[in-house]
Structure 1
Amino acid sequence: MLSDLNFTAEEQDAVVVFPESVAIPAEDIACSLVGRVLSSGPLDGGRVARLFRPIWKDNKVQTITEINSNFFLIAFASSSNRNNVLKRGPWDFQKHWFPLEHADPACTIHDYAFRYTCILVWIHNIPLSLMTEALSRTLGACIGKVVMTDSRLEDGNMGEFLRVRVSLDTTKPLRRCVMLSRSNAKAILCPLQYERIPIFCH
């Protein structure tokens, strides 16, 4: 039935818009993020705003506006404030993932897919001789797009696991391990542990 649907000539007439006369100023969008709490049902938007305002610092957050059910526009005082919030993610509300993206003045709320999240991953069972940032990047690339590595170097000691921050595609199952292959040696199974992982199965 939908394939037979046609718009009338009147409905197809385009409305000419001069952005500078009706649009929100570009500088107001430049320091903003959009986010959606991925919950199976609607949440109290005011409660979400009241929780995150003090966490993100009242003097750095200008407004947190619920535009649609569970969908928010967050305006910051500066782009550095906005970027700091992105770096400190992932965020969640009552364990439900609260993904954030840069606000794009050309996008509607339906254009945001919220497909990727940055998360810290611990890579266990690494031989001591291979506890390096180089291997952390190599293995991290098997999990997702590497954002940064954490050397945690203290007197040359990397600790008992490698730690890497990656951008994960949340439409794919979480990877549980990576296999570390070495020449003339048995491959090693390296279990993965995700830090502060929220619920994003919705």
Structure 2
Amino acid sequence: MGVPGRDKIVDWFPALEISDKKYEKLVKRWNKSVIVRMLGRPISYRLLCDRIAYMWNPKGKYSIVDLDDDCFLVKFTEEGDYLRALLDGPWVIQGSYSLVQPWTPNYLRGANDLTAVAAWVRFPGMPLHLYHKSVLRRLAALLGHLLKIDYNTCSKKRGKFARIAVELDLTKPLVPFVYVKGKRQKVEYEGLPRICYVCGLYGHVQEECLNKENSRSHSMNEKEKGDEQH
């Protein structure tokens, strides 16, 4: 008879098995949580508690957990409080910016790399008749996970661009364009200035891209092949 929690051996070590259904329940409990990281000097747990109560003024209950990598986890019960923390920044505490990112099951304590972020995304010049929730939800799914649709987009009060808030996976390239009904539609990311449109990754610009030479060589090879065919 197997021992609970030790029903499998991997590489000679006991392994804990968790069913997909149980794992989903465990993750769901933390869905409305954010990771707060100070850009600059660290701050104390007490100071952060005071500042969050003042800056975010949460309407529902929330809890703050101090992690061992100078980061904090803030768990909300209300969706509105969660979205305000993510989208209404930037937030400044004692002269230093605080980076607020959505918590994900893949978050690793002690890792300083930014892997997920909530950002407003614009679709400039998109035809007004496409300003519909069903279309915007499908566009969001092409980029990440939809968090919110801008009210002015829903009500069609502004026609310069459609605007949605999306949780982006920064381990994957960000796309500068999508195609809507066969036509190319530009995508703009608010608050993410360091995007490389060579490799599509966040954190550096085109001039700093390590893949630039590879991309240039690939483009030249493709051009040479095309010339040979003609």
Asked whether the two chains share a fold, i.e. TM above 0.5, the reply is yes
1:190 to 179, 186, 192: 186
Distance in 1, matches of 2:108 and 2:42, equals 21
List gaps (5 residues or longer) in structure 1.
1-13, 15-28
Q: Which amino acid in structure 1 is aligned with residue 149 of structure 2?
A: T
Alignment partners' CA distance in 2, 1:191 and 1:31: 27
Aligned length: 161
For 1:129, the equivalent position in structure 2 comes to 129
Q: How do residues 84-103 of structure 1 correspond to structure 2 at under 5 angstroms? A: 84-88=80-84, 89-90=86-87, 93=91, 94-101=96-103
State the percentage of identical aligned residues: 19
1:180 corresponds in structure 2 to 180
1:116 and 1:168 in contact (8 A); partners too: yes
User: Alpha carbons of 1:126 and 1:49: their partners in 2 closer, same or farther (altered >3 Å)?
Assistant: same
Distance 1:176 1:56 in 2: 32
Is 1:145–1:166's contact at 8 Å kept on the other side of the alignment? Answer: yes
Q: For the residues of structure 1 that align with 2:187 and 2:74, how far apart are their CA atoms?
A: 37
Other structure's SS at 1:37 match: strand
1:147 corresponding residue in structure 2: 147
Displacement, 1:124? Answer: 0.8
TM-score normalised by length of structure 2: 0.50
Residue of structure 2 in register with 1:44 after alignment: 43
CA–CA distance in structure 2, aligned partners of residues 86 and 145 of structure 1: 15
* Secondary structure of the structure 1 residue equivalent to 2:129: helix
Does residue 117 of structure 1 match 2:117?
yes
Does the aligned pair in 1 maintain the 2:146–2:165 contact within 8 Å?
A: yes
Q: Which stretches in structure 2 are left out of the alignment for 5+ residues? A: 1-13, 15-28, 195-201, 205-230
Tell me how far 1:148 sits from its aligned partner: 3.7
Preserved CA contact (<8 Å) 2:119 2:189 = no
Shift in Å, 1:37: 0.7
| Residue 87 of structure 1, CA deviation | 1.7
Which TM-score applies when normalising by structure 1?
0.55
Alpha carbons of 1:56 and 1:117: their partners in 2 closer, same or farther (altered >3 Å)?
Answer: same
Structure showing the higher helix proportion among its residues: 2
